[in-house]
Structure formats: structure tokens, C-alpha cells
Amino acid sequence: MAELLQWWNLIFVLPFAGALFYVLMLCVGVFPGDHGADLDADADVGIGHGLDHVHDLEPGLLGRALSFLGIGRVPLSIIVISFCFLWGFLGFASNTLLKSILPSFFFVWASMAVALVFSIALTRGLANLLAKVMPATETYAVSLEQLTGKWGESVTKIDETFGQAQVADDSGTLHTVQCLVEGGKEPIPRGAQVLLLYFDKQRGLFLVVPEGPADLKE
């Protein structure tokens, strides 16, 4: 137990324990599933607010990073929990292997590098797998293609590299989807009405256009 409380292990143990606690609370019903979905939706909108300002500095950079991890295709809570579990396990395992051959100051940095690289890679792989499986297994889910032709609201600025919008399906369930504008078109600001014009199956995102003439909606 004393070994777990060493600072070089706490870096990895605390995120692992936090993710485990959250999963246990879900299992006993402290955090209802619908509440968790609301948290994901709120988090997506929060990310959108942040990205709206970040795009002014580094267009598309943060967007590509978030998309790489699977955010927008898989609930944010799953991404965070998966990363925390992997970070904690890989970092602690690396510490255990390296502490006998390196001073603590050196092996902890090596462990952090190992944990970061492999956690990102494995989280991305898991997100890609879940993105393919979840729509087919969730009873409330609809095919993304079924959202084509619907109107939604942008929750981030949408440009040629990244964007997110919220759209309601026929049952009224809100979905946060990845979307882009066509190359050469003006970015769409957050809060604008957008039409989901076309779904790209390969990339799992929509091509969208902003609200136009009234007859476009008919």
C-alpha cells in the first residue's frame, strides 16, 4: 500500500481510481444512464464553446486532435474513462518495471511517455470499434444516414477541418454529429442553423450548409 502512495505512482493511480469509482457509481445507479448522456451532451457543447475561440488561433488543430480520439462519434464519458484506465494501468506497470533500473526522477518521465502514447493509441482504437458497434446495439439509436436532410444547430464553428452540430431525430432525441463545410466555403459560426446535406460513411461525418432561402427547407 505504501508503494501505491508514492508520488510517482499517484500520477497514475488517482486517474485510474477516479474512473473506477465513476463506473461503480454507474453500476449501482447513482449516476443514471440518461443523466450520463446529458453530461456528454453538455460536455460536447462546452468543447464547442472552447473550440470557437481556439479556431481563431490554430484553425482545425484542436478539432483534429479531438476527432482523432473519437470525440463526437463516441460519448465523451467513455473516451475519458477509457483513457484514465489505460493511463493508470500502463503508467503503473511501467513504473514497476523501470524503478529497479532508473532513479525515480527519470523513470517517472519514461513511464509518462509510455502511458501517454499507448493510452492515446488504444483509446482511439477502442473509440473506432465502439463507433461501429454502438449504433447497432443501442435501442434508442438511429443510423446516422437517417439524419441526412435534417436541420440542426452548430455547437462549434464549422469549417473545412472540424465542426459539430446538434440535430434531433424523428423521436426528438438530440444527436451531436461531426460535420464539415465544403472546401472553399465560408466557415459557419456557432449557433447557426445548418442542413445536413450529405453523410460521408468513410469519415463518419456530414457535409453541411448554412440556412439559406426559405424554399431550401421545403
- Mean pLDDT is lowest, of 55-59, 84-88, 100-104, 140-144, for 55-59
Domains and CATH numbers, the chain: 7-137 (no CATH), 144-210 (2.40.50.140)
pLDDT in tens, 93-127: 888 888 878 776 788 888 899 999 999 999 888 88
List Cβ neighbours of 76 (8 Å cut-off, separation of 6 or more). Answer: 39, 40, 43, 44, 47
209, 165 contact by CB (below 8 A): no
128, 82 contact by CB (below 8 A): no
> Model's pTM, two decimal places?
0.51
Q: What DSSP element (H or E) covers 84?
A: helix 76-98
Of 39 and 148, the one with more pLDDT? 148
The single-letter code of the amino acid at 142 is: V
Q: What phi and psi, each to the nearest 5 degrees, are found at residue 79? A: -60, -50
Helices 7-27 and 104-137 cross at an angle (nearest 10°) of 20
Check residue 192 and give its pLDDT.
Answer: 92
Picking from 139, 190, 126, the residue whose alpha carbon sits closest to that of residue 162 is 190
Check residue 64 and give its pLDDT.
Answer: 62
